[in-house]
Amino acid sequence: MNPQPVPADYTPVEIDERLENDLRQLVRLAIAEDLDVAVDWTTLAMIDAERRGACQIVSRAHGIAAGIALTPWIINEFDADLDVEVLIAEGETFAPGTPLVRLAGSARDLLTSERVTLNLLSRLCGIATLTNRYVEKLKGSDARLYDTRKTTPGMRRLEKYAVRCGGGHNHRTGLFDGFLIKDNHLALGQSREAGHSDEMPLGAAEAARRAVAMRGGMMKHLVAPSIVEIEVDRLDQMATILLSGIDIILLDNFSLDDLRTAVAARDASGVAVELEASGNITLDTIASVAATGVDRISSGALTHQATSLDLGMDWV
């Protein structure tokens, strides 16, 4: 186990104005998909304008609540004549048949907003539920589970928020809030090391130095991120950057033996750098990866392999 202080982590996604803005933009797009520039013709034909009603969004499966607290913002974008009552806390476990939200008011608005609301909440609850399954596999270890940028376009903050509801942690939100040097940066970069021509590939050690030198600096009115992380796929690369001043080393597709060797080398160095395992992380393998002593495990599966949870709208 790493005895060194834990470095500053990426900023977690929370319920704030940025999350609200992303959600509202997404709901507007979803409404345009459903209504285009027209109306809900079926509901207009079947339901009187004065008809009132109430319903509950109910789970058909076991799951973890995520996005339920955002339902008032979804309904607000419909300009709907509906009262919203949230019935469960974010991150709470629920069983089949559990009411999550109660909606009451215009029967027309209930019907028109039904599918968009269910689609969004089902997606977020599905991500939180899958994340929680991974988190359960980490019990007994000190490893923390992180998401990635492998998210649905336009839904990144929302999906990362759902990961947190499921007990996971957020990796960087985008390219703007952290240095993450990957193999393609090394392949396309040019070396400036003494004695090398500009045509030489960029080495991991120099790449780390460049990012560390820029960390926290100013460029016009922008402040560079404070966290520097670099991806390596070989043990010899790790040895060259261990003392470079970076915060996190991402060990990509390392074998279990190599992960243990990397942890031992870091611990022996006494350097306060965290080790993150990534690549081929599944429910079957994550416990074994955690047992190697790494601090962090990241997996794109939390978002890109999650399936929507089965939610329905039951009339009261």
User: What CATH number did the domain enclosing 62 receive?
Assistant: 3.90.1170.20
87 with 224, same domain?
no
Closest of 127, 122, 141 to residue 60, by C-alpha: 122
Q: Is 59 annotated for ligand binding?
A: no
220 labelled as ligand-binding? no
The beta strand positions in 91-198, using DSSP E, are 93-94, 99-106, 144-146, 179-181
Domain that holds residue 52: 17-134+307-315
Three-state secondary structure string covering 80-95: CCEEEEECCCCCCEEC
128 and 210 share one domain: no
Q: Based on the domain organization, do 111 and 178 belong to the same domain?
A: no
Report the relative pairing of strands 82-86 and 99-106 from DSSP bridges.
Answer: antiparallel
Q: Is 252 one of the annotated binding-site residues?
A: yes
**Residues 270-301: tens digit of each pLDDT:** 999 999 999 989 999 999 999 999 999 999 99
The answer to the question of residue 178 being in a domain is yes
116/144 same-domain check: no
CB 88 within 8 A of CB 68: yes
Q: Are residues 52 and 145 in the same domain?
A: no
pLDDT of residue 198: 56
In a domain, 29, yes or no: yes
Answer yes or no: is 169 within a domain.
yes
The answer to whether 216 and 242 have CB atoms below 8 angstroms apart is no
279 known ligand binder: yes
Q: Is 21 annotated as a binding residue?
A: no
Q: In terms of domains, do 183 and 286 share one?
A: yes
User: Is 6 within a domain?
Assistant: no
Please tell me whether 280 is known to bind a ligand: yes
| Residue 10 domain flag | no
Residues 95 and 181 in one domain: no
CATH code (residue 237) = 3.20.20.70
Report the domain count for the chain: 2
Establish whether 276 is an annotated binding residue: no
Query: How many degrees, rounded to 5, is the angle at CA 308 between CA 102 and CA 157?
Result: 85
Give the dihedral sign, CA 209/211/216/219: positive
Tell whether 284 is covered by a domain: yes
Based on the domain organization, do 209 and 64 belong to the same domain? no
Q: 289 and 311, same structural domain?
A: no
The radius of gyration of the chain from alpha carbons, rounded to an integer in Å, stands at: 23
Q: Are residues 244 and 125 in the same domain?
A: no
- In this structure, are residues 52 and 105 in contact, taking their beta carbons and an 8 Å threshold? yes
pLDDT value for 193: 57
CB atoms inside a 10 Å sphere around CB 49 = 8
Encode pLDDT of 69-96 as tens digits: 999 999 999 999 999 999 999 999 999 9
In a domain, 8, yes or no: no
Q: What pLDDT score was predicted for residue 202? A: 86
**Do 155 and 106 reside in the same domain of the chain?**
no
pLDDT of residue 220: 86
Residue stretches of the chain with pLDDT short of 70: 1-7, 192-199
Tokens of 278: 């990534």
Which residues are part of the catalytic machinery?
115, 150, 182, 231, 252
Global pTM value: 0.94
Query: How far is CA 104 from each of CA 59, 64, 78, 80, 83, rounded to the nearest angstrom?
Result: 18, 24, 14, 10, 5
252 with 162, same domain: the answer is: yes
- 203 within some domain: yes
310, 122 in Cβ contact below 8 A?
yes
